[in-house]
Amino acid sequence: MKLGATLGRGLNMPVGSTKFAWRKFWADSALAYLFLLPTLAVLATFSFYPVVRAFTLSLYDWGLSPDKEFIGFQNYVEVFHDKVFWLAVRNTAVYIIGTVPVQIILALGVALLLNQKIRFRPFYRLAFFVPYITTATAISMVWLWIYHDQWGLLNYILGWFGADPKKWLLDPRYTMMTIIVIGIWKIIGYTVVIFLAGLQNVDRELYNAARVDGANDWQGFWHVTWPLLSPTTFFVSITSMIGAFKVFTEIFVLYGGKPGPLRAGTTMVFYVYEAAFQDHRMGYASAAAYILFFMVLFVTFFQLWYAKKHVHYDA
């Protein structure tokens, strides 16, 4: 009877005898699995299996040749002893720190400005959002041209302010900066849109009440809007950080398939890419990829833990 009742709720109708209910349950289950079959097949092949496979691969010394040697955690040890790996970790950290907070602050500012009844609002939103959907390779070509040391737009504009032309793409000191600028430019519109949606949920009444009580713009923002917006800020910081871990294409295009001058643009994904597809060390690359995986997990869990203490989910 209990089952009949559950199914009855599921279909919102009386189901009758228990026997009928069971038959219906099995038939439904079979159909459900039929519906899920294609998804399960693809996920099993290209998501579940490779997670396991990457780990087992990481325990072997293997370079696409027939001989494959089990070496335990030797690859991991080697990764940790590689200076270039630590350079990649450092560069990825620089990229994350250079893009995530800056873009969040800028996007929040833009969203606050846009969150008013103003003219040309759709135009502004469009202008900020367009870069987000652009093709990374095409747009990196454009930036490559902008960064050109002789004819580039950037040096020309900086020249208005009396700055000397810089060799943006040739000087390793600027390598991370060149991709950080593209990263911020590309993601900011996404964050603006998310913040605008989050601001819709901020109770206008509460803000007005604070204003009536004598709070100024800044106090109203700091004591009402900012705390109420914290779930959105949290979401944005997690997604943009996970996204920042993946940076690859911009470097590849800007530096002609190489990780920048003197490897100054080696990021973690670039490191995995080089190990696997240039040095053909599949086991070693898998070990590096797994370390990357755990770093992403660690940072995500750290943020979740931090959010538990500081994010206000209720008004």
Partner 1 sequence: MKPIAGFTLWKRTRGGLTHLLLLGGSVIMLLPLYWMLVTSLKTYHETIINPPTWIPKVLQWHNYLDAWHAQPYMGRYFYNSFYTSIITVIIEVIFSVLAAYAFARMTFIGKNILFVLFLSTMMIPGEVLLVPNFITIAKLHWMDSYKALIIPWTISVFAIFLLRQHFLQIPWELQEAAYLDGAGHTRFLFQIMIPLSRPPIATVALLKFIGSWNAFLWPLLVTNTPKMRTVSIGLMSLMQDEGPQYHIWMAAATLALLPVLLLFLAAQEQLVESVAKSGLKG
Residues 64-93 that bind partner 1 (CB under 8 A): none
Q: Helix (H, G, I), strand (E, B), or coil: what is residue 259?
A: coil
Check binding of 148 to partner 1 (CB under 8 A).
Answer: yes
Answer for which of 179, 194, 202, 241 binds partner 1 (CB under 8 A) is 194
Least gap, CB of 118 to partner 1 (angstroms)? 6
Please say whether the beta carbons of 224 and 204 come within 8 A. Answer: no
Q: What is the pairing mode between strands 60-62 and 68-70? A: antiparallel
- Cα separation, 142 vs 149, in Å, equals 14
**256-315: which residues touch partner 1 (CB under 8 A)?**
256-257, 268-269, 272-273, 276-277, 282, 285-286, 289-290, 292-293, 296-297, 300
Residues 6+ apart with CB under 8 A from 96: 241, 244, 245
Options 2-10, 70-78, 172-180, 258-266: segment touching partner 1 (CB under 8 A): 2-10
Answer for which of 215, 230, 248, 261 binds partner 1 (CB under 8 A) is 248
| 184 or 210: CB nearest partner 1 | 184
- Cα separation, 270 vs 256, in Å, equals 13
Check binding of 244 to partner 1 (CB under 8 A).
Answer: no
**201-230: which residues touch partner 1 (CB under 8 A)?**
201
Q: Helix (H, G, I), strand (E, B), or coil: what is residue 70?
A: strand
- Cα separation, 15 vs 29, in Å, equals 16
Least gap, CB of 29 to partner 1 (angstroms)? 4
Answer for which of 242, 258, 303, 311 binds partner 1 (CB under 8 A) is 242
Please say whether the beta carbons of 186 and 135 come within 8 A. Answer: no
- Cα separation, 237 vs 231, in Å, equals 10
Answer for which of 17, 18, 137, 278 binds partner 1 (CB under 8 A) is 137
Provide the mask over 153-172, with x wherever binding to partner 1 is found by CB under 8 A and - wherever it is not. Answer: x--x----------------
Q: What is the dihedral of CA 253, 256, 259, 260, to 10 degrees?
A: -100
Which residue(s) pair with 68 in the sheet? Answer: 62
Least gap, CB of 83 to partner 1 (angstroms)? 21
| 17 or 29: CB nearest partner 1 | 29
Tokens of 234: 């949290």
Check binding of 29 to partner 1 (CB under 8 A).
Answer: yes
